[in-house]
Amino acid sequence: MNQSRPAAAPACCDEFAGVSRRSLLRGALLAGAAATFGGAVVNVSAGYAAAGTTPSDKVLVVLSLRGAADGLSLVVPHADPVYYRARPRIAVPAERLLAKDAMFGLHPGFAPLLPMWTAGKLAAVHATGLPAPNRSHFAAMEEVEDATAGSTTREGWLNRLLGQDASTHPLDGVAVGDGMVPTSLYGAEAVSSMRDPASLQLAGADEWDTIGGRRRSIQSLWGPDASTLGRGVRSALAAVDDFAPVRALPATPGGGATYPNTDLGKALRHVAQVVRGDVGTKVVTVDQGDWDMHTDLGTLSWGGMQRNVADLAGAMAAFFTDLGTLGDKVTLVTLSEFGRRVRENDNYGLDHGYGNVMLLAGAGVRGGRYLGTWPGLTDTADADLLVTTDYRSVLAEVVSRRFGASTAQVFPGFTPTRVGVML
C-alpha cells in the first residue's frame, strides 16, 4: 500500500467552504426573539416567561461531524471485499483495526475509547442516514436537523424534544461552540447558545460596575416592555442569573482528564462544566469539523482522517473521564449530514456519498457492538453506502428510552423501526 503523501491537491468542496455556521443560521435568529449578552445568545418564544431551573437527571449531547464524515473509515467493513478493492491507497488495514468482529472494526485512532467499548458504553450503528440521498451540505444539514421531511416549518427536532416538558427554561437546551443556535435547537422553546460558560454573563457587569448600574439600566429600559423582544431580554437576564453555578465551578477537568487542545476538546470541556453545574440542562449541541475530505483524507500516517479521529476520540474519552459518575446521566450521539463515496478519488480523498455511521456513548447505550443492517458495497465510480436505517430511528430510541418522549411529536410523520441500540 502506498503510504507516501501526494502533491498538493485542489481545494475541497466550495459549498462547504462557503457555508459558515453564522450564514447558515442567521435566518433562524432573525425569525425569533434573541437577546445577546456577553458572548452568548438566548432565543425565546413569544409566550416565554422566565422561571427557575429544575435539575435534570438525563442529558443528551448531540455532536455533529460537520462536512460529511466518511463512516467507512470510522467503522471499517473489513470483511466486505469491495472496501479494499475500492480504496487501494486510503483503506485502513484490517490488522490495525480495533474491536473487530466478523464484519467491522474501529479505526485505530479510536484507541482512547476502547475501554468504553469494552465496558458496553459505546456502540456503532452502520448504514444510517436520510431517507433519500441529499449531497448538498446546506440542504442536508437543514434536513437532518429539522428531521421533518417535506415540512416547510423551520423547527429543530431537539426543540420539539424540549417541548415535551410542561415548562421550559432557556438553559434546558444549550449550544456550545460559536455562539450561534443550530437548526436542531431552533423553535418555539427557549434555548441558549454560548462560546464558553464564562461568556454567558451580562456584558459590562464586571468588576468596574460596582453599583450594578448595567443591570439596572437594562431592567429600566426593558422591564415594562411587553413585546417579544422585551420578554427576550428579561428571560436572558434570568438565564444569566440561573447560570451562575456553572460559572462558579473551576474550569479544571475532573478525574485527571486531558482534553485535546482543539475546538472540539475545548467545547466538550465546556459541556462537562455545564453538566457539573446542574442548572437543568437537558440537551447540548456541539460541532466538530471539517470532515469534507475531497482531498487528503490520507492514510494512518498522514491526512485529515487520522487527525479528526484522534481529536474526536480524545475529546470524547476526556469528556466522560471528566464527568466521572455524572457520566451515568449523559448520552452522547454523533451525527453527520451524509457519508462519502465507496471509491477513493485521485486526490487521496472521497466525494459526497449517502450512508454513514452513528456512534452512541454513555448512559443507556447497549454498547460493545455494531448494529444496523449491512447492505454490502458496490465498486463503481458513483457507488454509495446505501442507507438501511433511517437516522431518526436511532434518535427515536434515544428520546423515547432516555426521556420518555413521544417519537410522534419529536419526529412528526415518521414511524421508526427498532434498532436495539438503547437499553
Tell me the Cα Rg of the chain: 22
**Residue 31 pLDDT level (bands cut at 50, 70, 90):** very low
What is the model's pLDDT at position 394?
98
Full DSSP string of 157-210: HHHHHHTTSSS--TTSEEEESSS---GGG-SSS-EEEESSGGGSS-TT-STT-T
13-38: b or e for each residue (b if 16 or more CB lie within 10 Å)?
A: beebeebebeebbeebbeebbbbebb
CATH says 14-410 is which class? alpha beta
**Residue 362 pLDDT level (bands cut at 50, 70, 90):** very high
- The domains of the chain are located at 14-410
What is the model's pLDDT at position 25?
35
Residue bearing the bigger pLDDT, 238 or 321? 321
pLDDT over 70 at 206, yes or no: no
What is the model's pLDDT at position 200?
86
Whether the CB-CB separation of 107 and 100 falls below 8 Å is answered with no
Average pLDDT for residues 289-296, to the nearest whole number? Answer: 96
Mean pLDDT across the chain: 90
d(CA 43, CA 20): 20
Pick the range with the lowest mean pLDDT from 78-87, 178-187, 375-384.
178-187
